[in-house]
Amino acid sequence: MRRTKREIVEELLIKKFESVRPMNPEETEVIESFKDGSFGVSTLAFSLYSNGHNLRGKNSKCPYGLIFEDGKRLFSIGYYRKETDTEEDDGYLFIVAPRGKGVIEKIDSFTDAILADKNIPSKGVYVRFLCLNQYLRLLLRGFLPPKESPWHPEAQEEDETYNNAVINIERIITTSESGDLKINLISNLNRRSRKRVRLDYNRFDNFLARSGLEFTLKEYSEDDFNSALSIIKNHFEILKKKDKGIGSTPEDYLNIVNLCSMTGITAYIGYLGKQPVSLFVGELLNNERLGLYASFTLRDPDFVLKNLKERSNISGFTAMPLYAYLMFFKEVRTKGIKEVHLGGSEHPDLNRFKRQLGAKKESSYWVVKLKIDS
């Protein structure tokens, strides 16, 4: 069988660099030692952003991508073509969330070695999940801002095109001693937006009462594997139908689902009646902050409600995603979580939704260095 370009690239990188190897998601202690509370440094982040399932960069031998680790520095490595590229085009190497002493110098030399090697079919190297200081230092070393070579025409930094969003749970909800949920008026928003979360929660609650349905959120178990996959698949089908599919693909999330039952991973699945409709998967970034890497709630009434006998009044149904988030926040708050890091967004609608939850911005940066044809 013909090897993919990603297979070729990753075989060459493993041979060329002593500190590069296939990522093993069970090596959690390695990543734990570099965690700094940012979204890009976690087992789930590496498994998602360097995954080998994406059809534009597939390698079944290294499904979790590669990792560079030499005891002092750490980053994960992926390889993908752009959506606008053909199957025969070379792809781009991705360096994800570089951390550690001297990591900027290592990225510089690592990138130059790759671009100078004619055997490695790569048009360039993108580096993502950088802090501001790293971004500025790499610009001084000849890397370019992503606008010089956008990853996608509508989202130049994929799902970091819009700033990362961090939720303070206690700003949004409080729970009484009896377990009842209270929706707070979110400060620092305009008057209408402050009430929006409470109004939408009540709208969906009223929909449930009228329809005789119940929304339940439970901890993920291995029996939920197929349900989780179906939620992801249907989510992307709905996006495609609405012409809102940008960048990400359902295959990207296969690693996330495979790791749902791993120690240290927080995963919940939501049901409307008996139908699986929501999936939340996260990982601790520090003792009080959870990074949320999969957050899907199916919201198309034609799809979700097709089995309902009575559909004369579905008012409030569209507030289900917000309702699901609030139920998730309530659950993780009982585990001592105070903040949920939602990552960035590639679509303005999703970014707007996060801001309505009162999310604070946390910046993250990309750079790129392109191969110069000789």
pLDDT tens per residue, the chain (374 residues)?
789 999 999 999 999 999 999 999 988 899 999 999 999 999 999 999 999 999 999 999 999 999 999 999 999 999 999 988 998 999 999 999 999 999 999 999 999 999 999 999 999 999 999 999 999 999 999 999 999 998 876 766 676 666 778 889 988 888 877 778 888 777 666 566 667 888 899 999 999 999 899 999 999 999 999 999 999 999 998 887 776 666 688 999 999 999 999 999 999 999 999 999 999 999 999 999 999 999 999 988 888 887 665 566 788 999 999 999 999 999 999 999 999 998 876 666 666 677 677 778 888 999 999 998 74
pLDDT at 374: 47
Going from N- to C-terminal start, the domains of the chain cover 5-163+364-370, 165-362
Cβ-proximal residues to 312 (8 Å cutoff; 6+ apart), any chain: none
- List own/partner pairs for 315-318 with CB under 8 A and 24 or more apart: 315/203, 315/206, 315/207, 316/203, 316/204, 316/205, 316/206, 316/207, 317/204, 317/207
The whole-angstrom separation of Cα 56 and Cα 177 is: 50
Task: Tell the burial category of 73 from Cβ atoms under 10 Å away from its Cβ (0-12, 13-18, 19+).
Answer: buried
Task: Please give the pLDDT value at position 317.
Answer: 93
DSSP assignment letter at 324: H
> Which pLDDT score, from 0 to 100, does residue 54 have?
95
3-class secondary structure, 131: coil
Paired residues of 290 in beta bridges: 284, 340
pTM score: 0.93
Domains 5-163+364-370 and 165-362 share a fold: yes
The CATH superfamily assigned to 165-362 is: Gcn5-related N-acetyltransferase (GNAT) (3.40.630.30)
**CA distance linking residue 273 with residue 164, whole number of Å:** 33
Q: What pLDDT sits at residue 187?
A: 66
With CA atoms as reference, report the closest residue to 11 among 43, 44, 52: 52
Cα(20)–Cα(9) distance, integer angstroms: 12
Domain 5-163+364-370 falls under CATH 3.40.50 = no
CB atoms within 10 A of CB 335: 9
The reported pLDDT for the residue numbered 306 is 78
**Distance in angstroms (rounded) separating the CA atoms of residues 156 and 174:** 38
SS3 33: coil
Nearest to 327 by CA among 291, 297, 285: 297
